[in-house]
Each structure stands twice: as structure tokens, then as C-alpha cells.
Amino acid sequence: MTVPFKTHELLDGANVSHGFFGRVGGVSTNQYESLNVGFGSNDKYNHVLKNREIVSSVLSQKGVKIVSLTQIHSAKIVTVTQNKTYQDHKADGIVTNTPNLAISIMSADCGPILFSDQNANIIGCCHAGWRGAFSGVISNTIKAMEKIGANKRNINAVLGPCISLNNYEVGIEFYDKFIKKNKSNLIFFKKQKNGKIYFDLKKYILENLQSNNLNQIDLIPDCTYELSDKYFSYRYNTHNGIKDYGRNISSIMLNS
């Protein structure tokens, strides 16, 4: 079975495996077709498990453990080891220095970010929707990596596929929240003559990453909404009257 996924050269290395996976290459059907990895969806549990096994086999022939969280759009971070199960942890970022754990983030329009300090053999990932990014999930992930030995000047970070500016309409309360926090946030919005307001989540995340003075940052430019045949998109499904939605997975792992 062919499983399309994307990697980025900033995260490539002999000691790191990673991938930004879309919706293609799994066993799920209907609106979950086909590589749905989200336990939070109403997909068949066995299909989600099988899809996670597929992702695991792509990352490593060893069939490594997929480590994920119950995501809550927060700034909370978990540091993981081999000795615990984390699916019941409510948080939105994961860091580790333990090999053979595929730490993973689910998304369906929000921004998945993978981090790597290959000098220190420390990796991280976080789920950056607007709430998480606004409240500090990106900085907190970096701080958690530093706490176990990373140096931010050696960390590379890549933002995976997420929703783009022209497909992310927001309300005036959303706009006011950002401007009240900092008037410089005006650069992340586009206001049209008809009164509609659009938010540039990609730009907001990249600016946030840049403010943390990392080694290098970049993005995979795909828009989940525009490429809804390749990625799960919460907004696309909502706008088209499709109940529930699958989740994309972005994973990174230290190789032993």
C-alpha cells in the first residue's frame, strides 16, 4: 500500500525519522477515507489502530510506538519516556530524548510543528491552532526541549500542512482578541470591503517561531482546506455539511 507523506530537509538526519502524513494510504472509509489516525473521531476504532500501524511501519521497520495526546488547544507540554502511556494526557506538545518513540501531533487545519536538535538528540512536536499558538504552546515546547538538554540555537522547526489565509474566515471578536493583545498582530489579518476578516495562521506561527531565535525554520506550504482530497480539513467538512472529520498525523522519532 502506497502511503504518501512529506518530509523536510531541515529535519532529515541519520538519527531522525519524520513525516507529515495526509489522508491517503489507510483503511478507513466514508468521510474518514483513508488514513485517519484520530481517536477523537467517530471512525471505527480498529481502523484508527490499523492506520497508526501503517504510519509506524513507514517510519520504521521495527514497528515503533506512536505516541500521541488528547489535544485540547492548550499550551501544555508533556515530556515522554518509554515507560508511560500518554494518550490520556490532555496537552498539545510532546518532547523526548528517548529513541524509537514516534511522538505525534494530530491536525485537521491547525498547524503541526516538528522540532529537532540533532546535536543533542532531542525532538519535539506541537499542535498549534490559534488558541495554542496564542497562549504559548510553541515557546513552551522549545522550553521543554531545553529543559532536557536542547539548545534553542541548534533547534530546527518545520510547520506542516495547515489552513491558509484565504480559507480562514474569522469573526470580529477573534480579531479584537489579537489586536487587544498586541496591535502589531494587524499584519496577520486581511479585512475585505464586505466586512469579512481572514486570519493568516501560517504567518502567525512562523513569526512566533522566528521570535524564539531558533537555528532554522521553514514550512510545508500545502493548505489542508484547498487540498481536502489529500488532507483532512475540519473547515472543509463543516462548510460542505459533512459530519465529523478525520485527522492528519505528523510524527518525528529518534532512531536507536
pLDDT digits (tens, 9 = 90+) for 218-256: 999 999 999 999 999 999 999 999 999 999 999 999 998
- The CA distance from 222 to 111, in Å, is 11
User: Could you write out the three-class secondary structure of 64-117?
Assistant: CEEECCECCCCCCEEECCCCCCCCCCECCEEEECCCCEEEEEEECCCEEEEEEE
- Give the tens place of pLDDT for each residue, 17-47: 999 999 999 999 999 999 999 999 999 999 9
Fold classification of 7-163+217-254 (topology level): CNF1/YfiH-like putative cysteine hydrolases (3.60.140)
- Give the tens place of pLDDT for each residue, 90-115: 999 999 999 999 999 999 999 999 99
- The CA distance from 222 to 69, in Å, is 24
Grid cell digits, residue 83: 515507560
- The CA distance from 243 to 251, in Å, is 26
Length of the chain: 256
Domain ranges of the chain: 7-163+217-254
